[in-house]
Amino acid sequence: MRIAFVASSVPRRCGIATFTADLSAAVKSADPAVRIFAAAIDEPGAARPYGPDVRWRIRQEEPNTYRDAAIAISASNVDIVNVQHEFGLYGVWHDGTYDDHLRIFLENCTKPVVTTLHTVAPKPEPWALETVRFISEHSEQVIVMGTTAARLLREVYGITRPAVVIEHGMPAIEPRGRHRLKRQLGVEDRPIVSTFGLVDPRKGLEYVIDAMPQIVASQPEALYLVVGQTHPELIKREGEAYRNSLLAAASRLGLQHHVKFVNQYLTQREVVDYLLATDVYVTPYLDPNQITSGTLAYALGAGKAIVSTPYLHAQEVLASGRGILVPFRDSAAIGSAVNTVLGDPARKRELEIRAYEYGREMAWPAIGRRVLAMMRDVLDHRVVGPIELEAPLHEEPTPIA
């Protein structure tokens, strides 16, 4: 099988690029005979070297390059195309309206397309609803990463054909070595609270910093690690203003000994090491409609005790006692939840076991096998012509607050 992935591509520092690289490797591992190709999406003004798998380039915000890539892929010997969809990669906002460039790609691609949706808003604006319905009509199959997203496609978007649910993958992790890794990091015998990933204001990191005095009052050696670089697009717009505000907050609260920043882009191995050293993992994200989180998936795979705000993905994967949910923008609740975990070893161990039992089913080797099997099934049962859609249940979707 010859597969073309359409997405941002490493070395671009982008969550979709990292995800696609991991997925490609997992599919290749599931069947070494599979050949992987890529159409890499570059942001405006970028010029970067790619590996030999990248056969086509798409210049973000230039519609003709989406068309040219589709025509070139259609003329190639590729068997199937996998589009990794995030709105910002495939369109441009102009004065509140969305110019959809994926539509141009899909209209010009004659190969069977499977589209992975990374965002499924529960209350989509009309342009978002129209875009997702068009994607479904012109894809042989749609993949989502949770049952909540699949339900939304059916109930809100009016898409009657079931989406395939394949969870966000993660490395296969053995949850051991906490004390050794703490020693290597120079934080031996300290309770570690952490958050990792690209830093930007949507992460709500300031609320964990504000919770640290409460945590330190119960755990005097507690340390909060903010692990990851500032988001490249945020740096272009605002520089390090957000990170500097976090540093200032930590200083104002006298937390220099209790809040540390690891300001670098991490390899997968480094991410796993920091996770394994962690006692409580916190995702204080602010968007209630966030439908997937790679960092949360990694924390589950590492068997971590997790405290999270109740965005959609967290509600789904942390159900049945796999984590603790706290209200949005509530530092006191974060502090109380973290203290509950750190102060009760039996409770902490229970959360770790439940997280790991759930997360190990989402390790990349298993995900690669499932994606490959789904693609083979698509090729064996390819549908000719567009899919008929029903009217969505919510005729006039309200804008996201």
pLDDT tens-digit series, residues 223-271: 999 999 998 888 888 999 999 999 999 999 999 999 999 998 777 788 8
How far apart CA 73 and CA 69 sit, in angstroms, is: 6
User: What backbone phi and psi angles, to 5 degrees, belong to 338?
Assistant: -65, -40
- Interval 97-107 mean pLDDT: 92
Cis peptide before 49 (omega within 30 of 0): no
What percentage of the chain has pLDDT greater than the value 70? 95
pLDDT at 268: 78
Nearest to 230 by CA among 193, 189, 261: 261
pLDDT at 93: 81
Domain with CATH 3.40.50.2000 in the chain: 2-169+365-380, 178-361
pLDDT at 398: 32
Is the model's pLDDT at 137 over the cut of 70? yes
Chain mean position to CA 71: 29
pLDDT at 386: 46
Chain mean position to CA 124: 19
Is the model's pLDDT at 385 over the cut of 50? no
β-sheet bridge partners, residue 38: 5, 54
Choose the CATH number for 2-169+365-380 among 1.10.3720.10, 3.40.50.2000, 3.40.50.300, 3.30.70.270.
Answer: 3.40.50.2000
pLDDT at 178: 86
Considering the chain, what is the average pLDDT of its residues?
Answer: 91
Residue 171 binned pLDDT confidence (cut-offs 50, 70, 90): confident
37 to 5, 10, 32, 52, 226: CA distances (angstroms): 6, 13, 14, 8, 35
| Total count of residues recorded for the chain | 401
How far apart CA 201 and CA 285 sit, in angstroms, is: 9
pLDDT at 400: 32
DSSP secondary structure letters along 317-348: HTTTTTSEE--TT-HHHHHHHHHHHHT-HHHH
Residue 397 binned pLDDT confidence (cut-offs 50, 70, 90): very low
pLDDT at 179: 86
- Interval 368-393 mean pLDDT: 74
β-sheet bridge partners, residue 199: 230
pLDDT at 362: 87
Is the model's pLDDT at 53 over the cut of 90? yes
Is the model's pLDDT at 298 over the cut of 80? yes
Q: Hunting for tokens 């070595």 — which residue is that? A: 177
DSSP secondary structure letters along 47-90: -----TTEEEEEETT-HHHHHHHHHHHHHSS--EEEEEE-GGGS
Decide if domain 178-361 falls under CATH 1.25.50.10.
no
User: What backbone phi and psi angles, to 5 degrees, belong to 54?
Assistant: -80, 110
